Amino acid sequence: MKRSQSTLIAAIAGGAAIAIGFVWNAMAEQGTDVPTESTRLSTAIFAGGCFWCVESDFDKVDGVVSTISGYTGGTVDNPSYKQVTYGDTGHYEAVKVSYDPQRVSYEELVDHFFHTIDPTDPRGQFCDKGPSYRTAVFVQDAEERETAEAEIETIEESGVLPGPVVTKVIDASEFWPAEDYHQDYYRTTPVRYRFYRQGCGRDAKLKKIWGDAAITAD
């Protein structure tokens, strides 16, 4: 009886290991960083206009393990894209970033974020205008707030931007993942994504605002 129980436990453990290996192999095939067993991941939430672009921009960062497009900051539970875009939900299009803090710091992520957006536009981002396309850093504790506010102060003191930073620093609230077709859109629909990004003028505007410090898809 004991041998049978031991065999069953070993089989379950082996199956779990295979399942984990399958997931990590899939992540590696998609170009996503694979965490080690000892990794403790942290999360950060940013709103930078179109979440397709924000996902794409963060996925290229060494130390970022995964990104999820979603909605946050509003009052409606489990909102749809249509509700957020055309309704009065108060939600932002946002991205939850899972990262390895041993490889990239929260401060580095915040700095990266600001150089992928126009933080001077209160109406939205690039060709996308409206409340859901505004920019924000959603902070989960006092330390993150201090880091985000310090970054904004540094940017404004540099005088590099054509106007004041209007990106808000907001306490994080419930994050609702967006519909499946929005996830990894730049990978699943690359031609349409490139057409959208170029047509929206995102990278051209970033270069105009930030100069050599701009982080673009190019």
Alpha helices in 79-159 (DSSP H): 81-86, 106-114, 142-158
The burial class, CB within 10 Å (0-12 / 13-18 / 19+), for 166 is middle
SS3 27: helix
What CA–CA distance (Å, rounded) separates 154 from 160? Answer: 10
Active site positions, annotated: 50
End-to-end CA distance of the chain: 63
Under 8 Å between Cβ of 57 and 112: yes
Number of Cβ atoms within 10 Å of the Cβ of 52: 23
Q: Do 78 and 96 meet the contact criterion of CB atoms below 8 Å apart?
A: no
State phi, psi for 101 to the nearest 5 degrees: -65, -10
